[in-house]
Amino acid sequence: MYLYADRPQRRMQQIVTDLFGMMWCLGAVAVGIAVRGWVRNRTEPAMFVESTAASLADALAEAADRIADVPVVGDELAAALRRAADAAAGLSTSGESMAGSIERIGDLFGLFVIVVGVGAAASVWLRPRMHWYHEASDARAVLRLPDRDEVLSAQALAGVIQQPGAGRLVAGWRAGEPAAVRALARAELDRLGMAYPPDLSPGLDPARRSPAGQGASTGRSAS
- Once rounded to an integer, what is the mean pLDDT over residues 106-131? 93
Three-state secondary structure call for residue 217? strand
Q: What is Dmax (Cα atoms) for the chain?
A: 123
Angle, helix 148-160 to helix 178-192, in steps of 10 degrees = 70
Q: Looking at residue 215, what is its pLDDT?
A: 32
The pair phi, psi for residue 114, each rounded to 5°, is -65, -45
What is the C-alpha to C-alpha distance for residues 191 and 5, in angstroms, rounded to an integer? 10
Q: What is the pLDDT of residues 63-98, one digit of tens each?
A: 777 776 666 566 777 787 778 888 888 888 888 888
Once rounded to an integer, what is the mean pLDDT over residues 144-156?
A: 82
Angle ∠(57,63,69) on CA atoms, nearest 5: 145
Classify residue 175 by burial, with Cβ atoms within 10 Å: 0-12, 13-18, 19+. Answer: exposed
**pLDDT greater than 80 at residue 128:** yes
Q: Where are the alpha helices (DSSP H) in the chain?
A: 8-40, 44-67, 74-121, 127-142, 148-160, 167-175, 178-192, 211-214
> Among candidates 48, 35, 55, which has minimal Cα distance to 103?
35
Dihedral over Cα of 191, 195, 197, 201: its sign: positive
Task: Give 125's pLDDT tier (boundaries 50, 70, 90).
Answer: very high
- Please indicate whether residue 6 or residue 157 has the higher confidence score (pLDDT): 6
23 in Cβ contact with 86 (< 8 Å): no
Over the chain, what is the mean pLDDT?
80
Give residue 117's pLDDT. 94
Which pLDDT band holds residue 205 (cuts at 50, 70, 90)? very low
How far apart are the C-alpha atoms of 183 and 129, rounded to whole Å? 25
Residues facing residue 222 across a β-bridge: 217
pTM, rounded to two decimals: 0.67
More confident: 140 or 109 = 109
Distances (CA, A) of 110 to 31, 101, 157: 8, 14, 46
203 residue type, one letter: G
d(CA 192, CA 211): 28
How do the domains of the chain map onto residue ranges?
Answer: 8-142, 148-214
Q: What is the rounded CA–CA span in Å between residue 184 and residue 162?
A: 13
Of the pLDDT bands very low, low, confident and very high (cuts 50, 70, 90), residue 1 is low
Task: Compute, in degrees rounded to 10, the torsion defined by CA atoms 16, 18, 23, 24.
Answer: 110
For 22-48, the pLDDT digits (tens) are 999 999 999 999 999 999 888 888 778
Q: What is the mean pLDDT of residues 180-194?
A: 85
Least confident of 153-157, 163-167, 181-185, 203-207: 203-207
